[in-house]
């Protein structure tokens, strides 16, 4: 059974393995010891924080581990409020209309405008499942457990929730979109730019990125073709978020042009459809699977397991193994979601 919990300092080696395996374009997990350890420490402080009346960029990083082998299977995370300490850049796809009534000509041209429109929003991020653990309910567990945590602790998060999806790049880490930017405005390749963004050194963006809107039809055909498209490995994650109610409103990443999707926290399907139930521990014959999470913040746990839910009494029977994994006792509450 996979169990999701907050990351610990002892998870550094496993987190570094995830960073190495995630590959190019996975900006939130750069292979950098100092940054990864800082992120672990920041997450521990965020989970332990009691007063969250003013969000100050807390980061909640979680890992999933195999309950039998204790091997870490992947990561998933939430940033409470992006863009305050380090600017959060994006491009917005817009239109400019050129009209000549005298000649009877009207042309609509797409543009990319640099901005920081998502500053202050909550971001779900760092979703990575190692290859050996992909399949079954593991992907849904890693993605949806964040929403159960957010529902239980809504005061920690913003109204608007976003997710930056990895854009198109090849096996060598080359992005067609970045290739055009590199040739015209930068002198560093995509992997170096991606790494600098990952470790928080974003000053070069403000220094070198064109400030005026870019006309899309001036880009190479290869660059135009990938605007708003996702990496093939990101397609399943995007589909899950679209089912949750997330949609792209024209914002894309400044490096690989991958889409940013957004949803009002109140309209996220897993948040709207989740519910609380009182725990009973015992054997049951139910085969219906649920995503189940405890209601703790600092000691958060989540699993995807069969359970027997009684709607009338608002109770749920879970196995002893599941209760132990969730660190809950009989009579305590859990938050659930049918999957």
**Sign of the CA dihedral with 27 first, then 29, 34, and 39 last:** positive
The one-character DSSP state at 172 is T
Residue written as token pair 């998933």 = 76
- State how far the Cα of 27 lies from the Cα of 163, in Å rounded to an integer: 12
Domain boundaries, the chain: 2-84+119-200+225-249+258-270, 274-338
**In sequence order, what are the beta bridge partners of 5?**
63
Tell me the C-alpha to C-alpha distance, in Å, between residue 121 and each of 156, 164, 173.
11, 12, 28
E runs forming strands in 57-149: 59-66, 72-79, 90-100, 105-115, 122-129
- State how far the Cα of 178 lies from the Cα of 205, in Å rounded to an integer: 12
What's residue 201's pLDDT?
65
Reading the block at residue 94, the tokens are 């817009």
- Which residues are annotated as catalytic? 231
| Backbone φ, ψ for residue 248 (5° rounding) | -90, 130
The fold for domain 2-84+119-200+225-249+258-270 equals Aminopeptidase (3.40.630)
Reading the block at residue 55, the tokens are 């969000």
- State how far the Cα of 317 lies from the Cα of 6, in Å rounded to an integer: 25
What's residue 60's pLDDT?
98
What's residue 233's pLDDT?
85
Residue written as token pair 């709607």 = 311
Distance of CA 123 to the CA centre of its chain: 6
What's residue 22's pLDDT?
86
- State how far the Cα of 300 lies from the Cα of 11, in Å rounded to an integer: 16
- State how far the Cα of 44 lies from the Cα of 38, in Å rounded to an integer: 10
- State how far the Cα of 86 lies from the Cα of 30, in Å rounded to an integer: 16
What is the residue-wise DSSP string for 61-73? Answer: EEEEEETTT--EE
What's residue 197's pLDDT?
66
Angle between helices 190-198 and 176-184 (to 10 degrees): 100
| Backbone φ, ψ for residue 63 (5° rounding) | -125, 155
Identify the H or E element spanning 190.
Answer: helix 190-198
The one-character DSSP state at 133 is G
Residue written as token pair 């089912």 = 243
H helix count then E strand count, the chain: 10, 16
Reading the block at residue 103, the tokens are 């000649």
What's residue 329's pLDDT?
98
pLDDT tens across the length of the chain (339 residues)? 999 999 999 999 999 999 999 876 676 788 889 889 999 999 999 999 998 877 888 999 999 999 999 999 999 999 999 988 878 889 999 999 989 888 889 999 999 999 999 999 999 999 999 999 999 999 999 999 999 999 999 999 999 999 999 999 887 778 899 888 888 877 677 667 766 666 666 666 667 677 789 999 999 999 999 999 999 988 988 999 999 999 999 999 988 899 999 999 999 999 999 999 999 999 999 999 999 999 999 999 999 999 999 999 999 999 999 999 999 999 999 999 999
- State how far the Cα of 277 lies from the Cα of 289, in Å rounded to an integer: 15
CB atoms inside a 10 Å sphere around CB 30: 18
E runs forming strands in 117-203: 122-129, 160-164
CATH C-level class of 274-338: mainly beta
- State how far the Cα of 123 lies from the Cα of 261, in Å rounded to an integer: 10
Closest CA to 140 of 158, 124, 127, 126: 127
**In sequence order, what are the beta bridge partners of 115?**
90
**In sequence order, what are the beta bridge partners of 2?**
66
What's residue 206's pLDDT?
65
Query: pTM for the complete prediction?
Result: 0.90
């Amino acid at each position: 059974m996979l169990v999701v919990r907050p990351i610990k300092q002892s998870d550094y080696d496993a987190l570094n393995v995830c960073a190495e395996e995630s590959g190019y374009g996975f900006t939130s997990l750069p292979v950098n010891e100092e940054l990864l350890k800082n992120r672990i420490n920041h997450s521990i402080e965020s989970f332990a924080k009691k007063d969250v009346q003013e969000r100050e960029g807390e980061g909640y990083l979680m890992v999933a581990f195999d309950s039998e082998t204790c091997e870490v299977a992947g990561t998933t995370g939430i940033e409470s409020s992006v863009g305050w300490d380090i600017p959060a850049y994006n491009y917005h796809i817009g239109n400019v209309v050129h009209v000549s009534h005298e000649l009877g000509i009207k042309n609509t041209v797409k543009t990319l405008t640099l901005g920081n429109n998502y500053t202050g929003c909550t971001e779900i991020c760092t979703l990575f499942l190692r290859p050996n653990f992909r399949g079954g309910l593991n992907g849904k567990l890693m993605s949806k457990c964040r929403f159960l945590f957010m529902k239980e602790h809504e005061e920690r998060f913003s109204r608007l929730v976003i997710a930056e999806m990895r854009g198109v790049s090849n096996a060598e880490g080359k992005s067609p979109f970045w290739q055009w930017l590199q040739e015209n405005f930068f002198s560093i390749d995509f992997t170096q730019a991606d790494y600098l963004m990952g470790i928080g050194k974003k000053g070069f963006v403000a220094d070198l990125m064109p400030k005026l809107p870019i006309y899309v039809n001036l880009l190479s055909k290869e660059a135009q073709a990938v605007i708003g498209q996702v990496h093939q490995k990101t397609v399943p994650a995007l589909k899950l978020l679209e089912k949750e109610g997330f949609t792209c409103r024209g914002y894309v990443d400044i490096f690989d042009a991958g889409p940013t999707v957004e949803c009002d926290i109140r309209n996220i399907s897993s948040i709207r459809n989740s519910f609380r139930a009182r725990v009973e521990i015992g054997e049951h014959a139910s085969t219906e699977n649920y995503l189940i999470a405890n209601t703790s913040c600092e000691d958060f746990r989540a699993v995807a397991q069969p359970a027997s839910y009684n709607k009338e009494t608002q109770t749920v029977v879970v196995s002893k193994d599941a209760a132990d994994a969730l660190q809950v006792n009989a009579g305590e509450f859990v938050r659930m979601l049918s999957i």
